[in-house]
Structure 1
């Protein structure tokens, strides 16, 4: 069976609010049946009811805390079912303090949600989608993957992981008919700021994107089949130059001999 990605069921994590809720809305209006995943049952049910009424699509609610292995197993099992052809890996969190001041439990939760869950679900999706001829994986990262010194480092590192994972999957899974997109938003007006004890209004207004605008831009990148979409970046050539410089280093990243500058320093 080959899934039609235009009408495949879309599984969206972190769907109860913010980016995930807007993705659910936009995908429903494109005709995708939905599986909505988050911890907040009341919000999920309200969103599902509204989307069923407004679009006529089916909207299934799957209440799950993706930091819990048993809940992650349930979501992975639903993702592997034959009707699902689109995964939006959106669920995420930020620390409310610095890495140095956070507890081990807080850091473990961050890593479980921002790294463990999207990795597990992307792996399940890639395996399942390949068996039925193709599918699509959207991983929500952050521009902090490219500007790691500007924010709390553990959160930025998780988003750098998402970018690397996405680029690697895009390269390895394209031959199996799977499209992978990494979306790197800048500061976006969502609840993640309040949850982590930060004030989005402390940013200059020109730096903060509204969530509807962000998702609409990301979907334009999705339709254009971009591997990396940076909704706020005015000049796509800057990203292309960045990627070209990275790839140009490739032949020289693993060589028998240390670079001459290090040999000279050692001999001094």
Structure 2
């Protein structure tokens, strides 16, 4: 809800507000243009009229234009503060006030729409009500200032598309977007996370890979870079010897898991990687 908005002197528009908010404005006449908002008992000093209209394009609201516009004008002549409201204060109540502005303030529909939106930015009658307002404007002035234009979605009133010299919708200033070409290094950044480099080449079944005692990590490839250390590990010494592989004991999975062995056969490495 946007509270109670003043349109001109002594004329207000709102959604369904509390009696306290209404009485605090000194309202003495209320037009409830809705089917869902209940009547409110505001005391004997407040005139109240409920007009049953649904907020759908097919609803007939034009039949109330002249009578309600005349009542509003009479209240203003008498200095009586008048409130026109619906459930939100966007479509039905705005339609009635637009009809009043055209008939008694001699505004075109376009000017009345932009003016009312400047007083209450959420104003926006449904398209069916806009068509009925256009017909009412034509009956008053012989022509209409609003037209429907085709879009990718549907035919819509041009007042919803044009920026509107009197529109109060604020445009948030945006800083220009600057695109800067940046060159990113392909080298990994230092990190506190422990990462392993991907395995590039698996040894063949006919070879044996060994590691020196300086690094007891089982080998699964011919290269290890940037492993679990933050610096490069010492260069590994590899041996390929059929004789050494025959005389060395074959380590069990449990021993290999503790990393106490000197080598692991390639076919075993495929299933018990560190």
TM over 0.5: no
Q: Normalised by the size of structure 1, how large is the TM-score?
A: 0.31
Q: Normalised by the size of structure 2, how large is the TM-score?
A: 0.30
Question: Relative to total residues, which structure has the larger helix share, 1 or 2?
Answer: 1
Q: Which has the larger radius of gyration?
A: 2
